[in-house]
């Protein structure tokens, strides 16, 4: 029964993703993933009902405190560990159904993994370390492997170190070699666990720029990091707290919320996708939701006395709407609709959760009130211009 429900959820996720992202597909999907470890003190739940999708070409940073569940989440995605319950799909393969032998073969072909401490074999030269995944995966012709390894070393600017042992080169150079090795079998996904944690700032910046280049060329990268500055530069951030994912834009939009409030609010968020031009809120309708934009944009539309429509504003990622009517009463003062060309994705809160959120956080209520005052003035001006 649980697998059937999870399969339906996956099909629904894939359908909505295709509509939102065009030809892009979900490379990573987690559905209802729970991971529990048995300890002397009893069962410890490291991951709690995780639902997650990562689309091809995304650069995702995974951040959170020590013990929050970051490593456990990455271990689910790489197949290093198995979920206690739930399903994990990576590059259309259900990892939860693979044997250990199948898992090892799949991992060698489909994933590039970069470790914080490099994990290069000390008895092999740099070029031999990069060739090793090709030897195990049997992906490239044996005659091609050295040339490909040399090409990858050149890509990461260490081709001149090819015939040295790892102990003879610097830490930054070793990390570059580890990146080249991760790319050996041309995997669609690269997973990096604190890849800049042991590097100086200049070298860390160079490694990050290399990741950005790889994403621009079509790779999908998940990077666990404690570096907040680097995390701000990726296309998406996953915040993990106590085994649960916090909605990234909720944390950015309302920085005064405590971690506990963020977790509880995220639990009640419902992600919804709207096709291009779809009406989300109709002017004059009673309010029932608070909406936070997580992808794409919306149009704010007024109708003049003659019936003509005027687009008076656009709102994008991290902005929100629906708050004026929820806090001040009355019906919706404008029509909100999805961008007519690309649609929009939102995270919606029901009225009860929204009311509780602003009641429990005076700072958040003050932030929203300030936005409301600005918007009411903006709406008034827009109406006057619309006639």
The per-residue pLDDT for 278 is: 94
- The span from the CA of 377 to the CA of 372, in Å, is 9
pLDDT band, very low/low/confident/very high, at 8 (cuts 50, 70, 90): low
Band (pLDDT 50/70/90 cuts) for residue 340 is very high
| pLDDT number for residue 9 | 54
- pLDDT tens, position by position, 143-195: 889 999 999 999 888 999 999 999 999 988 998 899 899 999 989 999 998 88
Residue 386's pLDDT is what?
A: 57
**Distance of alpha carbon 92 from alpha carbon 255, whole angstroms:** 36
Instruction: Tell the burial category of 219 from Cβ atoms under 10 Å away from its Cβ (0-12, 13-18, 19+).
Output: buried
| 141: number of Cβ within 10 Å | 10
**CATH class belonging to 56-85+100-246:** alpha beta
- Report the predicted TM-score, pTM, of the whole model to 2 decimal places: 0.77
* pLDDT tens digits, 114-125: 887 778 999 999
pLDDT value of residue 281 = 93
Give backbone dihedrals phi and psi of 270, rounded to 5 degrees, phi first: -115, 115
Q: How confident is the model at residue 221 (pLDDT cuts 50, 70, 90)?
A: very high
| 190 touches 60 (CB < 8 A) | no
In terms of DSSP H, where are the helices of 156-244? 171-182, 201-216, 228-231
The pLDDT of residue 328: 85
| pLDDT tens readout for residues 266-318 | 888 888 889 999 999 998 898 889 999 988 999 998 876 666 788 888 999 98
Please, where in the chain does CATH 3.40.50.300 lie?
A: 56-85+100-246
What is the model's pLDDT at position 377? 79
CB burial of residue 273 (10 Å; 0-12, 13-18, 19+): buried
- Total Cβ atoms within 10 A of residue 194: 18
Report the alpha-carbon angle 174-179-185, nearest 5.
Answer: 130
Choose the weakest-confidence range: 13-22, 61-70, 190-199, 305-314: 13-22
Q: Where exactly does CATH 2.60.120.10 map onto the chain? A: 268-386
Instruction: Give the end-to-end CA distance of the chain in Å, rounded to a whole number.
Output: 57
The domain defined by 268-386 folds into: Jelly Rolls (2.60.120)
């Amino acid at each position: 029964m649980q697998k059937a429900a999870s399969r339906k959820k996956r099909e629904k996720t894939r359908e909505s993703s295709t509509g939102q992202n065009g030809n892009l597909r979900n490379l990573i999907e987690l559905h209802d993933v729970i991971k529990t470890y048995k300890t002397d003190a009893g069962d410890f739940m490291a991951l709690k009902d995780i639902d997650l999708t990562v689309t091809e070409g995304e650069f995702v940073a995974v951040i959170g405190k020590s013990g929050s569940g970051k490593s456990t989440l990455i271990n689910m995605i790489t197949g290093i560990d198995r979920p206690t319950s739930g399903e994990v799909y990576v590059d259309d393969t259900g990892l939860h159904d693979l044997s250990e032998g199948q898992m090892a073969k799949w991992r060698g072909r489909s994933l590039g993994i970069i470790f914080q401490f490099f994990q290069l074999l000390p008895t092999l030269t740099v070029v031999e370390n990069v060739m090793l995944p090709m030897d195990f995966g049997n992906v490239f012709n044996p005659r091609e492997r050295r040339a490909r390894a040399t090409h990858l070393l050149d890509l990461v600017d260490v081709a001149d170190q090819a015939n040295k042992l790892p102990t003879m080169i610097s830490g930054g150079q070793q990390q570059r070699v580890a990146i080249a090795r991760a790319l050996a079998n041309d995997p669609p996904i690269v997973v990096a666990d604190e890849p800049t944690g042991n590097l100086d700032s200049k070298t860390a910046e160079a490694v990050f720029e290399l990741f950005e280049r790889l994403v621009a060329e079509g790779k999908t990268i998940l990077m666990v990091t404690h570096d907040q500055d680097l995390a701000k530069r990726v296309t998406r951030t996953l915040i993990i707290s106590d085994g649960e994912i916090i909605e990234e834009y909720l944390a950015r939009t309302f920085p005064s919320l405590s971690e506990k409030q963020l977790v509880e609010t995220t639990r009640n968020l419902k992600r919804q996708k709207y096709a291009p031009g779809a009406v989300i809120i109709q002017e004059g309708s009673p309010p029932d939701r608070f909406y936070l934009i997580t992808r794409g944009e919306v149009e704010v539309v007024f109708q003049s006395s003659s019936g003509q429509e005027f687009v008076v504003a656009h709102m994008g990622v991290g902005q929100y709407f629906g708050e004026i009517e929820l806090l001040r009463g009355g019906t919706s003062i404008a029509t909100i609709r999805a961008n007519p060309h690309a649609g929009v994705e939102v995270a919606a809160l029901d009225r009860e959760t929204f009311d509780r959120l602003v009641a429990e956080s005076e700072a958040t209520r003050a932030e929203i009130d300030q936005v409301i005052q600005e918007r009411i003035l903006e709406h008034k001006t827009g109406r006057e211009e619309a006639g």
